[in-house]
């Protein structure tokens, strides 16, 4: 068996059986390393080597957690809850049941997620800061958090795979088109948004389906949210102004220095210096915030080790080569297998940006040989790379939503984020990507 298939299968099966994702990633890496012939010592060495790759993001999330707790301490969550609950109360008297507020909240999260990829390219950094303060209101409205996870994942994935600005410019132009051109295809006349339009429609279809799948109200324990978000905290105009300044400073510094760590730290320092967070409370608050994000951080670290073992086995390329050998002369089978291999590789590595260079080296020449048009090849490779970003336990497109939605322990990473995003995005993306490859 191919080492990548074995590793990803073990990791996914254990995760679905509610084994902790960190344990599942370690077990999957060990299995993949042994199947790939590395031996136990070389597997552990590769795993340990890869751990450092996730440390930066893990530390960033730990600091963002501390910053998020400081935001809660400022009373911002209480202020937002008061305003929104007042709107819900007014609508209830008019017989609307808070529907306007519900859709405003969903629209806000969707727009911010989309903007995080281009207008304000902060990626997932906004989630631990924006989502936890809204949980009290979302839970009062009884909105299913699985829907919010799907909304956030859509906003994190679709813009970079369709809009050539921000992170989309990196993925579409610097990675996708560059690697297709390196494979020998003339992409000078290829309009990348046209190539990725049908797959993007697949993502939109998945989002629409999610609104039906999770339309029923879901109950959450409000007392648990109050404990972690300090919804009842006192606030004043001064504390809200300080919170706004701290958030703005964190975002500006992150964009300026390209560092979530320094941005979050600067925001926390502003809270401490202003007195909103008392100096003697700062240490406990900082520790509380880091603990809140500890699980996400450890998953990211373990995922980096897992990906390094997959690379060390050398069997990612073997998997791609094997798929090429199975294809024969059938374009329909070729398109399907290319997409499935892309799904498997991205779910293991956790990054669509890293998947494209791996699969393009083999699949681009193969696509030319089978008679796919340049537009179809770009669409096929781009979709194969994006597949698995939603639905992977190790992807930041699933870890990010969980980081915001699970601060009170009422949102399971696998069953409430990974499985919903896999079903609603990967399956439509497979279908629409195949159609794009066959029709362009």
Contacts with 129 (C-beta within 8 Å, 6 or more apart), sequence order: 64, 67, 68, 71, 247, 250
Instruction: Grade residue 146 by pLDDT with cuts at 50, 70 and 90.
Output: very high
Q: What's the pTM?
A: 0.81
Residues 273/279, Cβ–Cβ less than 8 Å? no
Return the percentage of the chain with pLDDT > 90, whole number: 20
Cβ neighbours around 25 below 10 Å, total: 30
Q: What is the DSSP letter of 311?
A: H
The whole-number average pLDDT for the span 263-270 is 82
- Evaluate if residue 156 carries a pLDDT over 60: yes
Question: What is the model's pLDDT at position 229?
Answer: 63
pLDDT at residue 350, as a whole number: 67
Mean pLDDT of the chain: 82
Q: At what angle do helices 427-439 and 192-213 cross, to 10 degrees?
A: 150
Measured CA to CA in angstroms, residue 25 lies from 161, 238, 285, 316 at distances of 27, 45, 30, 17
Mean pLDDT over residues 419-434, rounded? 94
Tens-digit pLDDT profile for residues 244-253 = 888 788 778 8
Angle (CA) 257-262-266 rounded to 5° is 115
Q: Quick one: CA torsion of 363, 366, 370, 372, rounded to 10 degrees? A: 40
- Percent of all residues in the chain with a pLDDT value above 70, rounded to a whole number: 89
Per-residue model confidence (pLDDT) at position 80: 67
pLDDT surpassing 90 at residue 375: yes
* Residue 184 pLDDT greater than 90, yes or no: no
pLDDT in tens, 307-345: 788 878 887 777 777 777 777 677 888 889 889 888 888
Q: What's the full length of the chain, in residues?
A: 440
The pLDDT tens digits for 272-307 are 888 777 777 777 777 777 776 677 777 778 877 887
Note the pLDDT tens digit of each residue in 21-64: 888 888 988 998 888 888 888 888 888 888 876 677 677 777 77
Q: What is the predicted pLDDT for the residue at 427? A: 93
Phi-psi region of 100 (alpha: psi -120 to 50; beta: other; left: phi over 0): alpha
CB 167 within 8 A of CB 121: yes
Q: Compare 78 and 226 and report the one with higher pLDDT.
A: 226
Query: Which pLDDT value is given to residue 155?
Result: 93
Q: Is residue 316 a contact partner of residue 358, using CB atoms and an 8 Å limit?
A: yes
CB-based contacts of 249-255 (< 8 A; 24+ apart in sequence): 250/67, 250/129, 251/120, 251/122, 251/125, 251/126, 254/122, 254/125, 255/120, 255/121, 255/122
Contacts (Cβ under 8 Å, ≥6 apart) of 107:
none
pLDDT at 98 (0 to 100): 64
- Contact call for residues 383 and 340 (beta carbons, < 8 A): no
- The pLDDT value recorded for residue 25 is 84
| Structure confidence at residue 234 as a pLDDT band (50, 70, 90) | low
30-50: b (≥16 Cβ within 10 Å) or e:
bbbbbbbebeeebbbbbbeeb
- Residue that wins the pLDDT comparison between 95 and 155: 155
**What is residue 212's predicted lDDT score, i.e. its pLDDT?**
95
């Amino acid at each position: 068996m191919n080492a990548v298939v074995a590793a990803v299968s073990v990791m996914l099966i254990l995760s679905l059986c509610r084994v902790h994702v960190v344990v599942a990633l370690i077990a999957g890496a060990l299995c993949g390393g042994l199947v790939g012939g590395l031996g136990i010592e070389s597997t552990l060495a590769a795993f340990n080597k890869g751990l450092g790759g996730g440390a930066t993001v893990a530390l960033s999330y730990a600091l963002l957690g501390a910053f998020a707790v400081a935001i809660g301490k400022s009373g911002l969550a209480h202020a937002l809850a008061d305003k929104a609950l007042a709107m819900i109360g007014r609508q209830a008297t008019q017989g609307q049941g808070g529907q306007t507020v519900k859709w405003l909240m969903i629209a806000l999260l969707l727009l911010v997620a989309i903007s995080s990829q281009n207008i304000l390219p902060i990626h997932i950094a906004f989630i631990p800061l924006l989502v936890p303060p809204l949980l009290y209101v979302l839970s009062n409205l009884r909105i299913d958090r699985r829907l919010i996870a799907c909304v956030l994942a859509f906003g994190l994935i679709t813009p970079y795979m369709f809009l050539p600005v921000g992170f989309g410019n990196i993925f579409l132009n610097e990675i996708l088109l560059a690697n297709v051109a390196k494979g020998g295809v003339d992409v000078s006349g290829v309009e990348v948004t046209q190539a990725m339009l049908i797959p993007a429609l697949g993502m939109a279809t998945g989002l629409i389906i999610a609104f039906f799948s999770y339309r029923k109200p879901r109950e959450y324990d409000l007392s648990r949210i109050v404990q972690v978000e300090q919804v009842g905290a006192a606030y004043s105009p001064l504390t809200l102004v300080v919170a706004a300044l701290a958030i703005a400073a964190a975002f500006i510094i992150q964009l300026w220095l390209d560092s979530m760590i320094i941005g979050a730290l600067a925001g926390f320092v502003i809270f401490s210096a202003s007195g909103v967070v008392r100096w003697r409370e700062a240490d406990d608050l900082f520790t509380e915030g880091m603990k809140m994000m500890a699980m996400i951080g450890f998953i990211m670290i373990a995922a980096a080790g897992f990906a390094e073992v997959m690379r060390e086995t050398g069997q990612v390329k073997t998997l791609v080569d094997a798929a090429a050998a199975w294809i024969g002369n059938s374009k329909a089978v070729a398109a399907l297998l290319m997409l499935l291999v892309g799904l498997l590789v991205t779910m293991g590595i956790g990054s669509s940006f890293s998947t494209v260079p791996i699969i393009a080296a083999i699949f681009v020449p193969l696509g030319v040989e089978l008679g796919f048009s340049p537009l179809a090849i770009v669409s096929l490779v781009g979709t194969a790379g994006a597949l698995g970003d939603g639905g992977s336990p190790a992807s930041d497109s699933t870890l990010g939503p969980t980081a915001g939605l699970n601060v009170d322990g009422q949102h399971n990473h696998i069953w409430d984020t990974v499985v919903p995003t896999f079903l609603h995005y990967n399956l439509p993306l497979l279908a629409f990507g195949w159609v794009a490859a066959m029709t362009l």
